[in-house]
Amino acid sequence: MRFYTESHQYYCGIDLHARNLYLCLINQEGQKMLHKRLPNCRERLLAAVEPYRSSMVVSVESTYNWYWLADLCTKEEIPFVLGHALYMKAILEGKSKNDRIDSEKIARMTAGKMLPQSYVYPQEMRKTRDLLRRRLYFVRQRAAAKGHIEIVNSQYNLPALNGAANYKNKRDGIIEHFPAGDLQCSIAADLATIEHFDRLIPDLEKHLVGRAKVHDHGSFELLQTINGVGRILALTFLYEIHNIVRFGKAQQFCSYARLTKAQKTSSGKTTGKGGRKIGNPYLKWAFSEATVGLIERHPAVKIYFEQRKNRLGKAAAYARLSHKLGRCIFHMLKTGDKFDVEKFLKF
């Protein structure tokens, strides 16, 4: 957990919503200079904080709509801090909770150097990262439509389709495979969804690869030297990590990628584990996929995996290998070295 520790003359905490915000601005002594609700209007916000902006920091919880506020602060050269939503949840919960109280808590946490800090992803790559995430959503929607066809086929105990929906040249006759009426209409809707995404997804991938060549400085090709990491996984690593320098240690990176488990202790005794949802779920998915691909393509990695699986179990063996791959990618991006399976097994 990182805390914002910079000192300023004024601290502005904002509780941000879709159409309005509640701001609380305090000075170094903790006196409230401003505490009011405003619409989400750039001009109104700047006018309200104008007397204090020369030595002020703005802090806000990492909700879904923080982009415009971060971009405004960057443009106006006002320091901006993004609070980590999951860490802040435990702090901001109280007996009484409303926008006015939350904004003041955020301001005082920032002033007291106790605001858990999240990474402010740079504006120039943010839209591409969001498009990449959208592409993953579309892939999952297509898979859901394919899965629904198989589910309906099983519901009515019809002859097996053998994954015919996965292949364009085998889709003819799928609709007629089902009883006429509403059922055929449902299957036709699934096939129309699949065919639409079959056209859309390759176009998005082509666009994303083009954008990677603009934003990248060699990491995109470097990541693909790992057997099992293709264009999509390399894009995911590239845009979800952004800059490996922001992680001081390999263990910090692995924690961010959800490759480690947090252990809770008290008085020298282990009381449990937690924090599984703190981190980047897209990196967790990418590492899971890359680990499976690595095992399939490297006999030495497969032997390593089988040895751990026999001793620890399948899930723990995958986790160990994913953690090892996380440390390996951290090293590769730091040094620029290509993937070497012998070095990988030593991590």
Domain region containing 157: 125-215
What are the tens digits of pLDDT across the range 42-61? 999 999 999 999 999 999 99
133 lies in some domain: yes
- Tell me the percentage of the chain whose pLDDT exceeds 70: 98
- Among 118, 151, 181, residue at a domain's last position: 118
57 lies in some domain: yes
DSSP string, 5-32: ----SEEEEEEE-SSEEEEEEEETT--E
Tokens of 300: 């030495």
What are the tens digits of pLDDT across the range 224-251? 999 989 999 999 999 999 999 999 999 9
Confidence of residue 90 (pLDDT cuts 50, 70, 90): low
How many separate domains does the chain show?
Answer: 3
Do 183 and 89 share a structural domain?
no
pTM over 0.95: no
Residue 92 has pLDDT above 80, yes or no: no
Do 337 and 235 share a structural domain?
yes
Do 249 and 293 share a structural domain?
yes
Do 320 and 242 share a structural domain?
yes
5 lies in some domain: no
Phi, psi of 25 (to 5 degrees): -115, 120
Do 156 and 138 share a structural domain?
yes
Please state, in angstroms and rounded to a whole number, the distance separating the CA atoms of residues 295 and 302. Answer: 5
Do 80 and 31 share a structural domain?
yes
224 lies in some domain: no
Q: Hey, CA dihedral for 103, 109, 113, 117, is it positive or negative?
A: negative
Do 134 and 110 share a structural domain?
no
Residue 300 has pLDDT above 80, yes or no: yes
223 lies in some domain: no
Do 52 and 111 share a structural domain?
yes
Phi, psi of 112 (to 5 degrees): -85, 10
